Amino acid sequence: MIVGRVKTNVIANLIGQGWAALIQIVLVPFYLHFLGVESYGLISFYLMLIMGVQIFDLGLAQTLNREIARLSIDPQGASRMRDLVRTIEVVYWGVVAVVCIALALLMPLIASYVINPKQIDAESLRYALYMMVAVIALNWPANLYFSGLMGLQKQVLVNKLRILLTTVTGVGALIVLWLVSPTILMFFSWRIIAGILTFAVMATALHTGLPAASGRARFRPELLSRTWRFAAGVSGLTISALVLTQLDKWILINFLSLEAFGYFSLAVTVSNALNLFATPVFSAVFPRFSVLIAEGKHAVLEQVYQVSTQVVAATVVPTALFLSLYAHEVLLLWTRSEVIANHSSPILRLFVIGTALNGLMHVPYARELARGSTRIFLTFNLAAIALLGPAVWYFAPRIGAMSSAIAWVTLNAAYLIIAVPLIHSNMSRRKQWSWYYNDIMLPTVSAVLILGIGRAFLPAGLSSLGVAAVLAIILALAITAASLTASELRKIIKTSIMKLHTQR
């Protein structure tokens, strides 16, 4: 049976990140209404920037997560934990300052040579880019405090704060666009205000959540020297992963109009809904894996690993196949725009498959990080950059955004086929086969059957509400079927039902 704390943390992460995803899904059509597709493309560019600056994270956020989790089982670790937080915090803020100053200096060049707007005037574009830098300077460090709280396994608190801050940020932006001014500058003005609130709340939450210790926290560079190997490995892995996931977008924005890039970004946004299932599991199991490895509880580790994989497979795969099969219907229901659905659905059908394959790698990645091993993923990422970057550059002028979707599927399929056997090299052949067959293939096949039947018998002539209801039922049945064909999940579901029956 999955460890109780991990189960609680997964549920908390699902609720918190589910709410964040729901807010985004609900608000995007309103943003499109007030701002238009071109301005939404500019918002997508901001998201690219904030992902891009993670290159300079130096592995510090994941290092803080892992080290806090390990120190949490040490009765004498309170003082060192506080000193570690202060040390990493000081270094992190120094990095943020340097990167944001450099970014501000680059913005005139980006405005002139990278972004291709048709409706946004040059002055508004420049102001918007500078405001992006301010938002990044506030939101980027908040990730460090999130990671620290995750290491403390205070994930219920983290997700309460996530729900609060996501709601204030998203709904607040909508209100100012509606009541004040429907412009991209007003959007980013509100994001600056929300960023100040987010930073203050998260920093306070981490520092008050640390265990009490005698004396004030101190800056101790020697603590970094003890963790630099892991931090360097994670930094290299983060840089290579970000280059892989963002390089295609930087290439596309040079070849596509801002409007076409907006259509592409909408497809990616829908595809990223899969992270609603994969990321909460990663966030819950990574610190738990770190503790189990430190305690030498390898049997429990393998059990949590198997259950976590099945949770991801039984949720991510059916949802991805659903979005691929019903891409046009989902986009039309979401945006109420036939034009957007026609432009974005072909990209979504393919891109979401790559995102699903990527989601299946979250749990193996968490275990490798908890072991302090980054070599396999780093080597694979570097090889992929060398091959896929030039390929996207060559095909982008010829087939547009589809070049990115094809590259994304190819990359993640290669991970699953080539990298996973290397990660599982210490397992028996039977367990390796079981991971593919029992944990992934069986849930996938059952989901395909349900979705195929649903596609074949989808009634015609339904209203929008009717289509939404039928699609929701089909997706729920697919996830249920996948969960019941995953052996460990089936046991958990059976046990939970029996407990409910006994309580009655």
Q: Which of 58-67, 148-157, 211-220, 284-293 has the lowest mean pLDDT?
A: 211-220
Residue 117: pLDDT band by 50, 70, 90 thresholds? Answer: confident
Give the gyration radius of the chain's Cα atoms. Answer: 23
The answer for 364, left when phi > 0, alpha when psi is -120 to 50, beta otherwise, is alpha
Alpha-carbon distance 268 to 247, whole Å?
Answer: 14
Angle at 84 (CA atoms; ends 82, 89), nearest 5 degrees: 100
The pLDDT value given to residue 426: 78
Tokens of 411: 């990359």
Residue 165: pLDDT band by 50, 70, 90 thresholds? Answer: very high
For residue 420, pLDDT over 60 is answered with yes
At which residue do the structure tokens 């052949």 appear? 429
**Residue 424 CA to its chain's centroid (Å):** 24
CB atoms within 10 A of CB 441: 15
**Amino acid letter for position 384:** A
CB atoms within 10 A of CB 207: 15
The pLDDT value given to residue 492: 80
For residue 1, pLDDT over 50 is answered with no
Q: Pick 248 or 234 by higher pLDDT.
A: 248
Q: What is the per-residue burial (b if ≥16 Cβ within 10 Å, else e) of 153-178?
A: bbbebbbebbbebbebbbeebbebbe
Residue range 173-201: average pLDDT? 94
The pLDDT value given to residue 503: 64
Residue range 207-228: average pLDDT? 76
What is the distance in angstroms between the CA of the first residue and the CA of the last residue of the chain? 23
Residue 326 main-chain phi, psi, to 5 deg: -115, 35
For residue 450, pLDDT over 90 is answered with yes
Q: Pick 368 or 348 by higher pLDDT.
A: 348
Residue range 450-472: average pLDDT? 87
The pLDDT value given to residue 7: 67
The pLDDT value given to residue 2: 44
Per the CB < 8 A criterion, the answer to whether 313 and 360 are in contact is: yes
Residue 239: pLDDT band by 50, 70, 90 thresholds? Answer: confident
Alpha-carbon distance 156 to 160, whole Å?
Answer: 6
Residues in the chain: 504
The pLDDT value given to residue 504: 59
Alpha-carbon distance 321 to 310, whole Å?
Answer: 16
Alpha-carbon distance 221 to 145, whole Å?
Answer: 19
For residue 325, pLDDT over 60 is answered with yes
The pLDDT value given to residue 168: 95
The pLDDT value given to residue 462: 80
Residue 301: pLDDT band by 50, 70, 90 thresholds? Answer: confident
Residue range 444-463: average pLDDT? 88
Tokens of 466: 């009717």
For residue 229, pLDDT over 60 is answered with yes
For residue 469, pLDDT over 80 is answered with yes
Residue 365: pLDDT band by 50, 70, 90 thresholds? Answer: confident
Percentage above 90 pLDDT, the chain: 32
Q: Pick 449 or 8 by higher pLDDT.
A: 449
Percentage above 70 pLDDT, the chain: 95
Q: Pick 129 or 300 by higher pLDDT.
A: 129
SS3 (DSSP) at 341: helix
Domain spans, the chain: 4-503
Residue range 466-485: average pLDDT? 92
Angle at 51 (CA atoms; ends 50, 52), nearest 5 degrees: 90
Residue range 337-354: average pLDDT? 93
DSSP tag of 274: G
Residue range 130-146: average pLDDT? 91
Residue range 366-381: average pLDDT? 82
If 0-12 CB within 10 Å is exposed, 13-18 middle and 19+ buried, where does residue 494 land? Answer: exposed
Mean pLDDT of the chain: 86
Alpha-carbon distance 194 to 82, whole Å?
Answer: 27
The answer for 336, left when phi > 0, alpha when psi is -120 to 50, beta otherwise, is left
- pTM, two decimals, is 0.72
DSSP string, 374-398: -HHHHHHHHHHHHHHHHHHHHHHHH
Query: pLDDT digits over 60-99, tens only?
Result: 887 888 788 777 777 666 788 888 888 888 888 999 999 9
Query: pLDDT digits over 268-298, tens only?
Result: 888 988 888 888 888 888 878 888 888 888 8
For residue 414, pLDDT over 80 is answered with yes
Alpha-carbon distance 10 to 30, whole Å?
Answer: 30
Give a three-class secondary structure readout of 165-229. Answer: HHHHHHHHHHHHHHHCCCCHHHHHHHHHHHHHHHHHHHHHHHHHHCCCCCCCCCCCHHHHHHHHH
